[in-house]
Amino acid sequence: MADKTNATDVTQATEEVTALRTQLNEWRRQYYDEDAPNVEDDVYDRQYARLVELEQAYPQLVTPDSPTQLVGGTVRAGFTKVTHAIPMLSLGDVFSQAELKEFTERVEQNVGEPVDYNCELKIDGLALSLRYEEGVLVQGATRGNGTIGEDITANIKTIKSIPQKLTRPLTIEVRGECYMPKAAFAALNERREAAGEPVFANPRNAAAGTLRQLDSRVVAERQLSTFMYNVADYEPLTARTQSEMLTELADLGFATNPDFKVAHSMADIFSYIDRYQNQRADLAYGIDGIVIKANSLPLQRSLGATVKVPRWAIAFKFPPDEQPTLLLEVEWTVGRTGVVTPTAVMEPVQLAGTTVARASLHNPDYVAAKDVRIGDTVLLHKAGDIIPEISAVDMTKRPKDAEPLVIPTTCPSCEAPLVHLEDEVALRCINPKCPAQVQEGLVHFASRNAMNIDGLGPRIIAQLYTNHLVTDVADLYRLTTEQLLTLDKVKDKSAEKLLTAIDRSRDNSLERLLFGLGIRHVGAKVARLIAQHFGSIEALMGAAQEEIAEIDSMGDVIADAVVQYFASEEVHTLITELQEVKVNTTYQGPSVEVAEESNSWFAGKRVVLTGKLTSFTRGDATQWLQANGATVTGSVSKKTDLVIAGSDAGSKLQKAQQLDITVWDEAQFSETMREDAQA
């Protein structure tokens, strides 16, 4: 980036400003409109800061289409436009304690006295607005360009943390952030990569891409959440400070972030920043900085705003946690769906508290965009503070003989030709007998959420396959003690335990088998809904696409995948073999009607399981609860009715105690199960 001294006259400044605006507007389009940024935030921030510097030095160069004068992005086709009566502004950014101190001095100079500030975590998500009339949710909208946003009412009604009705009949517009928790982000990207789809760069873009879906069923599946932190007009509230407003919003039923603090001095603000900069990797959601707001709401109103940002708030952006390391090689591996994924193998480096030596390169398009080469020094960071990712190549250190990576044309496992299927970015091996796919499929079949065959992990499966003891999942049920004893490190006792686990899995309900078969787009929840609807695998195999698509939360994509899977003669043969070895192929859980009409104490309750259970597995407990009408969720909120805590319970137990939610130990849960059975 050029220094300010290089722009010695208006001509040079004009040329640099034009180039910066072109580049920044393209990055803005990718970030806001496509939810697919091509650069990291800090790269954008540096270029943006340079543009601000030039426009301040040459005010005559400021134009309405400059990124410094714009808020957010455009309205996506397919959505109705919503005009914000009070504009939704963005925040100004600072990157150092000195810049932050300049902001507070500017505020206090305008006010004429010391000011208290409310410090809040800057959630890495998508800004949204919720409008309530007489306490009832009537509209949800994105920020859009600050003045005009998108009507996403149908989508936000699927988000559990957004109340449909307030605890008081207020007419009010509440604003906040919609985000995707880190765990949900990691799981979503894993599913997308396995399906050959492009992955999201970070949780913010995953949340934005989800919230702006035209199909609200997709939104419901992706576990979005929210933190609300502002109102368009505070008059309907009793609160007259930012901190009081957060408490009052929580009382109205909104999810608010509890980790805020009123600061009375710069030392308080810096202490808060240091604390959460160190703790950000441990949070369940992504943050990229701290927001500092004048705490008094009347003061906020009197200070007002510029065309783009409020004068009473600022965002302190965290520096990127990046480490340089050397790219040693790229491995290409085959997953159970046939997707061939490149993985960068690097010299180990400490990053956000862990040692990292590998990072996914996702697909050939990603490899080309990053232009990584063997021997490159690369900058490594964690997307969403969780997934190791190469952010850039240090081109100044590239070896002179570095060659572009060669994209394979044949499968690294079976050497079959690789293909690009329509609408996929991934390379895929479509050989159904590919050894790598078969092994990965066996591992998935035995996994906890599928057939739950304890002890049958990747090491044992690799030996079984290599020694030609199994060729498909039906062969698992034909294994003998003598065969298992030929495997490395398998003795009499472990062979007996493994055969017992395999035998026990024969009795699983149909939904576990459906999930274990690895049908594309069929996760554990979808498998349960399908099994519940059809009752048997024979009924499902004979179902038409339209019948499957009509099931709640399905749709054409899933229905097509199921029909296509069961159209295969090889699959028909496999199902017959599974039935011959006495694997259950019927649904054994409750029907929809039975679950809804259950007389169990648990019927209609929202339950969270946490910690280690000893009397049964987490999967068995979940299955029992669902069979008795409960909804089992993965996170604790004000809507949670019960938390069942085993040993070594952690943050979920703490949150339940903070929210005064009923907590049972395993013994109390077991006793209530017995009482239910006797009722």
Active site positions, annotated: 122
C-alpha span between 260 and 84 (Å, rounded):
27
Cβ pair 421, 339 in contact under 8 A:
no
Cβ pair 120, 291 in contact under 8 A:
yes
End-to-end CA, the chain: 74
Under 8 Å CB-to-CB from 286, ≥6 apart: which residues?
123, 124, 125, 179, 182, 185, 202, 203, 204, 384, 385
3-class DSSP state for residue 186?
helix
How far from 371 is each of 354, 392, 426, CA to CA, in Å? 26, 9, 17
CA atoms within 13 A on the CB side of 157: 14
CB atoms under 10 Å from CB of 459, counted, come to 12
C-alpha span between 353 and 363 (Å, rounded):
27
How far from 391 is each of 43, 322, 379, CA to CA, in Å? 10, 8, 6
Degrees to nearest 5, angle at CA 594 with 589 and 597: 145
Judging by DSSP bridges, how do beta strands 313-317 and 93-94 pair with one another?
Answer: parallel
Cβ pair 126, 224 in contact under 8 A:
no
C-alpha span between 196 and 202 (Å, rounded):
18
CA atoms within 13 A on the CB side of 339: 22
3-class DSSP state for residue 432?
coil
